[in-house]
Amino acid sequence: MSGEKTFEILNKIFTPKYKQNIEDIKGYTIKYGHIVQNEEIIDEVLVSYFKAPKSYTAEDMCEINSHGGILIVKKILEICLANGAELAEPGEFTKRAFLNGRIDLLQAESVIDIINAKSEKEAKTGISQLEGQLSNKIQEIKSEILDVMVNIDVAIDYPEYDVDEVTIGQIGNMLNSVENKLIKLEKSFDNGRLIREGIKTVIIGRPNAGKSSLLNAILKEDRAIVTEFEGTTRDTIEEFVNINGIPLKLIDTAGIRNASDEVEKIGIAKSREIANSADLVIGILDSSKELSEEDKEILEIVKSKKSILILNKIDLKSKIDESIEEIKINVPIIKMSALNNIGIEDLYAEISKMFNLNQIEVGNELIITNVRHKNIISHALSNLEKAKKSVEDKMPIDIIAIFIKDILEDLSNITGEIVTEDIINEIFARFCLGK
Ligand code: GDP
């Protein structure tokens, strides 16, 4: 429970073993006792006390730890509600923390990212954001702009002092410096997207090349955490796999998974279409067979995308290898026996290298993972271009100031200093209940 009436309600339903006035109970205290209704003991519980402003929401709060199981938890919830508590909406605790000024909007959003994180790197990005690293960066950029704004205001208010020359020079330097920082953040979004959504990967190859064997080898890995999503097209499933910290979103076409069902197997045209939307294409050839026409088409697709080529079935007598003209296509080649789990580690190493995954060291580099933030930064950059142009065009300083204020406004939107209620509601609606 959170809010002004927390301890009043708690008093009505909780009988601690050692009674104390609420004024005498310190925050961060846990007390043992019973939840009681009409003098009947409902459960034996531990209650944690948090006193405003030192709590998650910055309000008075308590947490009741009961025995597990749905029934007791529901019962205690009902008793709370009957005694004046109201059910929290999704994200309400975090929303209150934001509205009470304990965290900014960036940090609130990072809570959702942490809860929904599918990989360790993603969780780490969320945590560094919760710790305020991105907020600090945005504040740093803002104060850089504000430092110059002060001089601009002086120049506007006291036109008799001829400070324009100096100020214009400062503005130019500041805009360039801010531009560099914003561009860096904007670019980090691509890496952020890979961490968050996974590297969209598709395996293509002609029937019997070994696509499902490879897919199964990947999905079978003990270290793989697999989450199934419905794919964007009706006949695909997306599986999120996290191997050695490499987040892969495997686009699993129905045909690949269900190898026995020939009808469902996808043709070259469809492969090409799916490959087009992928971050990574894994082309697979059966090295125990001569190159077929279909293989050549697969190689064409592989050539046109960020790809890895797999020569599968190396346990059998080989008919093709790298020396073949058609295969000299400047794409990393991995020899594999999907059936015997040979070459799978090499594949992971290659993917890791390709996407510089080892260099995405969360903590050292700030990464934007949220589309809302990315869009605002792009918007700020377009305002920055306008400001730069107004300087180049030698516009009056009060006009330049308007563009610069627009940049400041964008940045305040990210942290939530100025933000509309609609946006706030939209953001917190993405939360699950109880956070
Ligand atoms: P798909 O049609 O591309 O999905 O191919 P499958 O994964 O279903 O494989 C077709 C056949 O090749 C199956 O009988 C597999 O057991 C076999 N196969 C797959 N990979 C290997 C391999 O590395 N070595 C050998 N010897 N057989 C393999």
Please give the distance, rounded to the nearest whole angstrom, from the Cα atom of residue 23 to the centre of ligand 1. Answer: 71
Reported as a single tens digit per residue, the pLDDT across 1-49 is: 999 999 999 999 999 999 999 999 999 999 999 999 999 999 999 999 9
Element (H, E) at 333: strand 333-335
Name the domain count of the chain.
Answer: 3
176 and 204 fall within a common domain: no
51 and 155 fall within a common domain: no
209 and 327 fall within a common domain: yes
Q: Judge whether 94 lies within some domain.
A: no
Residue with the nearest Cα to atom 9 of ligand 1?
210
- The answer, yes or no, to whether any atom of ligand 1 lies below 6 A from the CB of 55, is no
Q: What is the CATH number of the domain that holds 41?
A: 3.30.1360.120
- The answer, yes or no, to whether any atom of ligand 1 lies below 6 A from the CB of 253, is no
pTM above 0.85, yes or no: no
242 and 377 fall within a common domain: no
pLDDT score for 319: 92
Residue 2: strand, helix, or coil? strand
Token readout for 334 is 């991995």
Reported as a single tens digit per residue, the pLDDT across 283-341 is: 999 999 999 988 998 899 999 999 999 999 999 999 998 888 888 888 999 999 999 99
Atom of ligand 1 nearest to the CA of 284: 3
CB proximity list for 76: less than 8 A, separation 6 or greater? 13, 35, 42, 43, 45, 64, 66
pLDDT score for 261: 47
Mean pLDDT for 118-127 is 77
Q: What percent of the chain has pLDDT over 70?
A: 89
pLDDT score for 237: 72
pLDDT score for 228: 62
Q: What is the CATH number of the domain that holds 257?
A: 3.40.50.300
CB proximity list for 302: less than 8 A, separation 6 or greater? 204, 281, 283, 309, 329, 331
Q: What percent of the chain has pLDDT over 90?
A: 49
Structural domain including 172 reads 108-194+370-428
244 and 352 fall within a common domain: yes
Please give the distance, rounded to the nearest whole angstrom, from the Cα atom of residue 350 to the centre of ligand 1. Answer: 22
To the nearest whole number, what is the mean pLDDT of the chain? 86
Please give the distance, rounded to the nearest whole angstrom, from the Cα atom of residue 314 to the centre of ligand 1. Answer: 11
